[in-house]
Amino acid sequence: MAARASAAAARCIALLLILLAGTSSAQLSSSFYSSSCPGLYSAVKSVVQSAIAREKRMAASIVRLFFHDCFVQGCDASLLLDDTASFQGEKMAKPNNGSVRGFEVIDAIKSAVEKACPGVVSCADILAIAARDSVVILGGPTWNVKLGRRDSTAASFSGANNNIPPPTSGLANLTSLFAAQGLSQKDMVALSGAHTIGLARCTNFRAHIYNETDIDGTFARTRQSGCPSTSGTGDNNLAPLDLQTPTVFENNYYKNLVSKKGLLHSDQELFNGGATDAQVQSYVSSQSTFFADFVTGMIKMGDITPLTGSKGEIRKNCRRIN
Ligand code: HEM
Ligand SMILES: *[C@@H]1O[C@H](CO)[C@@H](O)[C@H](O)[C@H]1NC(C)=O
Ligand SMILES: *[C@@H]1O[C@H](CO)[C@@H](O)[C@H](O)[C@H]1NC(C)=O
Ligand SMILES: *[C@@H]1O[C@H](CO)[C@@H](O)[C@H](O)[C@H]1NC(C)=O
């Protein structure tokens, strides 16, 4: 009797361990808010749609917010926190200062979502859905967004400076900064395809167009005409990351790299005689391969160390902790 009971208890414990192991690798789920906030997806999409209708670049800016959030403490909306006299956020860190944008759109989504289901949906999840919707609206692939992240009560200025790759990075450094987040070199090349949309400032591509040889000469001269060679008033002049179609999400970014028309040094590093050339070529030949790998990368990026369960909080206002 006692032996049978303890065998049953052992089976019970084994089952529990299996269940726990299962949840630790799949804490997020696309049905997380299906009963607590059924209107979530439509609320997010309608605000994203009207923001992009006003300015197409906003889609790019939102996708980038998700990247810069996820690379610092995981996807926890730490990037959205404003600086105060007693709180240092991430917005002034080098990769973000004067560069990241779209916070008003996230605020507008948050208030629409709060109206539909108060106190339920995290800012981190809102950002994940908004990034997906932005890609879709500009013609890119869709995917099911995993949800259940909670919002941080801390930010990391130094994490933003150290984890987000600068555009001067070489292939080895790009690879290692992604590896530090659990993302492979293949993910890095696929996720960089987000540079098929959006703009960059002169200060970030000046050295590449004036001082480097791995660039098409005509393209370099065209970009030089909008970006003075010395730092100063022209630093914030903008140029498209994809010279042809910066508001359409397709594989043109990789076509540019093959013709030495990458805007950033880091872009051209992906096609420069190194280990990632073949992957770039494969995306030139097959947009659907790029789309599939981009989706895999976005889902993996969205899985970076989320706060779940009772960790963190559901912020009322994405700009400050409750
Ligand atoms: C691989 C390493 C990466 C580097 C070095 C890098 C660097 C940069 C830089 C320097 C800019 C221009 C910022 C400015 O001048 O203000 C930029 C823009 C952008 N980045 Fe990246 N990035 C990388 C990866 C990614 C990833 C993984 C994503 C998203 C999945 C992404 C999405 C974007 C978008 C959409 C823009 C345009 C934003 C806008 O127009 O507002 N980037 N990136
Ligand atoms: C952020 O940018 C502003 C304006 O360019 C500059 O005045 C400020 O010093 C920068 N902050 C940091 C922390 O670098
Ligand atoms: C690349 O990484 C090396 C070694 O970690 C470092 O010394 C170097 O400054 C990095 N370069 C860039 C451009 O990030
Ligand atoms: C190009 O390189 C030279 C020599 O290293 C340097 O003095 C100059 O400032 C660089 N120019 C740009 C635009 O990066």
Q: Is position 319 within any domain? A: no
**169 close to ligand 3 (CB < 6 Angstrom):** yes
Lowest-pLDDT range of 5-14, 145-154, 197-206, 306-315: 5-14
Residue 12, pLDDT above cutoff 80: no
Q: Is residue 194 part of a domain?
A: yes
My answer on whether 176 and 292 are in the same domain is yes
Residue 67 and residue 96 in one domain: yes
Nearest atom in ligand 4 to the alpha carbon of residue 230 is 13
Q: Would 261 be classed as within a structural domain? A: yes
Cα(232) to centroid(ligand 3), Å: 26
Q: Is residue 282 part of a domain?
A: yes
Query: Is 68 assigned a catalytic role?
Result: yes
| pLDDT tens-digit series, residues 234-288 | 999 999 999 999 999 999 999 999 999 999 999 999 999 999 999 999 999 999 9
- Domain boundary at 114, 135, 165, which? 165
Number of domains in the chain: 2
Q: Is residue 31 part of a domain?
A: no
The answer to whether residue 24 sits within a structural domain is: no
Of 47, 51, 67, 68, the catalytic one is: 68
Pick the last residue of a domain from 133, 165, 197: 165
Confidence grade of residue 27 (pLDDT, cut at 50, 70, 90): confident
Which band of pLDDT confidence, cut at 50, 70 and 90, is reported for residue 14? very low
Question: Ligand 4 centre and the CA of 224: distance in Å?
Answer: 14
Residue 5 lies in a domain: no
Please indicate whether residue 201, judged by its CB atom, sits closer than 6 Å to ligand 1: yes
User: The CATH number of the domain where 157 resides is what?
Assistant: 1.10.520.10
- Regarding the beta carbon of 314 and ligand 4, being less than 6 Å apart is answered no
Expressed as residue numbers, the domain containing 55 is 40-165
pLDDT (tens digit per residue) in 167-225:
999 999 999 999 999 999 999 999 999 999 999 999 999 999 999 999 999 999 999 99
Is the domain of 290 the same as that of 204? yes
pTM score: 0.93
Does residue 48 share a domain with residue 99? yes
Same domain, 176 and 145: no
Annotated binding site for heme b: 195
Q: State which ligand 2 atom lies nearest to the alpha carbon of 92.
A: 13
| 305 part of a folded domain | no
- Same-domain status, 218 and 153: no
Residues 216 and 159 in one domain: no
Same domain, 161 and 44: yes
Asked which of 9-13, 35-39, 129-133 is least confident by mean pLDDT, the reply is 9-13
> The CATH number of the domain where 190 resides is what?
1.10.420.10
192 & 242 share domain? yes
Same domain, 72 and 92: yes
Rounded distance, CA 69 to CA 301, Å? 10
Give the span between the Cα atoms of 127 and 178, in whole angstroms.
Answer: 20
Let me know whether 145 and 74 are in one domain.
yes
Q: Same domain for 141 and 187?
A: no
